[in-house]
Amino acid sequence: MHHLIASFAFASSLALVGCAPFPQVPAASEQTEGLSARQVFDRSLAVHGGDLRKHPGDINFATDGRWYRLIQRIQPVVTDAGFRVASQERYRPSEGVYAVRHTGPDGVKQVVRMPQSLKVQYNGVPETDAVKLRATAMTSDAFRMFHFGPTFFLDRAQRMTRLSDETEKGVRYHRLLVDMKPGFGEAANDQAVLWIDADNYRLYRIHQTLNGFETTQGAHVDTTFLDYRRVGPYLFPVRFLERVRGPLRLKAHAWEVTGIDLDRGWRTEDVMGAEFSGAAAAPVTEFPSQP
């Protein structure tokens, strides 16, 4: 049924808003500052605090947000909005462990994503449906990318190409087209365009394809990073807006990181069950309110 809903919604929306293509054509003349694509990327990586994969301990996030109504109708399996509203996230770079405890009106979704495996439980019951697992693999990879920024591409970038710079609201951005292998989730490949502030080299936006799930193939979305916080040696994005850009245009998801802490010392087994345990269990302390 969700395939029918998606097809109907996409066809109806296309009739209203038309199609927006994914950026493809590099512009070799836009080598501003004499920097190659890799040099721009390396500057951004350094500004964000360097390669998170080298962090010896653990990194932990709390998030909260909301899904827009139309995207829930178009992509109910991908959004999974009955569960994916708030989250507690646990990451151990040295072992490639990324565990997320999602909560929403329908209960708890527990996800453990590792380099070669995926484990999903809904309200304590292991999920075996291949469709839900494919969608979860894709969204888990995408959200790890949002939180960890340039580091995410170090394992996946096959090629980086500079596109023409863009200016938005008076700010100039370098753009890098990244050919990725593997892509998100079960996709053999994907592409992403990184928008990097030409002044401070912060990552401002990621525009990506979504080849890892049957109802998102051919679609592309962008996510804009609206605010940052420094925690320890790292600069993390903490406020996000995700939009579908093609084959239709609509707002999809707005969310924020409400807290981050480092180096609790939890063990991998602390995140493998139906709920977090041991040093992974306590919620991340929220950031102090801004004055």
Residue 289, pLDDT score: 75
Q: Please, which pLDDT band fits residue 9 given cuts at 50, 70 and 90?
A: very low
The mean pLDDT of the chain is: 89
* Token pair belonging to 22: 């994914």
Q: Is the pLDDT of residue 30 over 90?
A: no
Q: Is the pLDDT of residue 32 over 70?
A: no
Look at residue 45 and give its three-state secondary structure.
helix
Q: Give one DSSP letter per residue of 76-126, joined into a string.
A: HHHH-TTT-SEEEEEEEGGGTEEEEEEEETTEEEEEEEETTEEEEEETTEE
**What CATH number was assigned to the domain covering residues 2-10+26-264?**
2.50.20.10
Buried b (16+ CB within 10 A) or exposed e, 233-245: ebbbbbebbbbbb
Residue 111, pLDDT score: 96
Task: Quick: pLDDT tens for 174-206.
Answer: 999 999 999 998 999 999 999 999 999 999 999
Buried b (16+ CB within 10 A) or exposed e, 119-151: bbbbeeeebeeeebbbbbbbbbbbbbbbbbbbb
Residue count of the chain, please give it. Answer: 291
CB 101 within 8 A of CB 153: no
Q: Is the pLDDT of residue 283 over 90?
A: yes
Q: Is the pLDDT of residue 5 over 70?
A: no
Q: Is the pLDDT of residue 87 over 90?
A: yes
Q: Is the pLDDT of residue 66 over 70?
A: yes
Q: What is the DSSP letter of 152?
A: G
Task: Quick: pLDDT tens for 96-111.
Answer: 999 999 999 999 999 9
Amino acid at residue number 185: G
Rounded to whole angstroms, the maximal C-alpha distance in the chain is: 55
Task: Quick: pLDDT tens for 250-260.
Answer: 999 999 999 99
Q: Is the pLDDT of residue 25 over 90?
A: no
> 120-134, 179-193, 208-222, 224-238: which range is least confident on average?
208-222
Residue 2, pLDDT score: 38
* Token pair belonging to 11: 């066809």
Question: Torsions phi, psi of 7, nearest 5?
Answer: -60, -45
Q: Is the pLDDT of residue 246 over 60?
A: yes
Spatial CB neighbours of 277, under 8 Å, sequence gap ≥ 6: 269, 270
Amino acid at residue number 229: R
Domain segments of the chain as ranges: 2-10+26-264
* Token pair belonging to 155: 């394992």
Q: Is the pLDDT of residue 21 over 80?
A: no
Q: Is the pLDDT of residue 15 over 50?
A: no
- Least Cα distance to 104 among 88, 87, 92, 121 occurs for 87
Its pTM stands at 0.89
Q: Is the pLDDT of residue 133 over 90?
A: yes
CA separation for the pair 114, 95 (Å, rounded): 8
- Per the listing, tokens 């959200």 go with 143
